[in-house]
Amino acid sequence: MTAFSRRVADLTGVPEDRLGRLAGGDLSQVLLVVRDDGRESVAKGGPAVATEAAMLRALAAAGLPTPAVEAEHGGVLLIERIVHDGLFSARSWADIGAGLKRLHSSLADQFGWPVDYALGTVQLDNRRSADWPAFWGEQRLAATAALLDRPLRDRVAGLVRRLRDLLPDRPPASLLHGDLWSGNILVAGGRLAALIDPACYHGDAEVDLAMLTLFDSPPDTFWSAYGALEPGWRERRPVYQLFPALVHLRLFGAGYAPMVDRLLDAVGV
């Protein structure tokens, strides 16, 4: 077994040979914990489990279903296991749309988050800011592109210089999930069962919607439940989709370069 499984066994009292592996966990270690009485938990490892626990609590406080945080200690986050069926029906998409609208209605007075975070090896600079184009340009796009080859860095820099013409200065600072794709959305029985694996901060609500539509195609029921968007959202969408595309290029390699190139073309740089 591993040092992580030993820590989980020590924390839960469940022997290592009874800890199961769960699908997923691209960016962290994930184990299933089944106790003698049948209760099930998920154990996640990582350097910032307390921050993830705080983010899960923030989502719950905003009225979203999330796994309950059971413990956080020694690099182990122990959370409730949520039963889900993975069936994204029109009804479940409507429930997701209504849930996201509720999440995005939780507002702050600035953009960012109290502490920095990371998606794998990609560091997220969450310093508070009242200037949305500067936050998005410097703390998301430029920072993520900084370790890429120069042609891409130069194209991203060109976009950053234009952001004041493309993005609003002060959109509502909505609470964001921050890593929103269908793999982090659990559904069961036609309802939203839970949002998991957050990378929360406050920003333009369109950020979550842009990432969701980068990897998924929500049906009309989702958009009807979410409600009307601000004019120009389609033009802003590739600007927001570029960030998760850059993250995927950094984490998972050159297979995501065509996506990045397409989005940069879409915004004219």
Which uninterrupted H or E stretch holds 157? Answer: helix 150-161
Question: Catalytic one among 10, 26, 179, 220?
Answer: 179
**179 included as an active-site residue:** yes
Question: What is the rounded CA–CA span in Å between residue 68 and residue 48?
Answer: 17
Question: What is the rounded CA–CA span in Å between residue 52 and residue 57?
Answer: 9
Nearest alpha-carbon partner for 19 in 35, 133, 115? 35
The single-letter DSSP state of residue 19 is P
Angle at alpha carbon of residue 127, lines to 201 and 267, rounded to 5°: 70
Note whether 145 and 82 are within 8 A (CB). no
Note whether 56 and 66 are within 8 A (CB). yes
> Which residues are marked as active site?
179
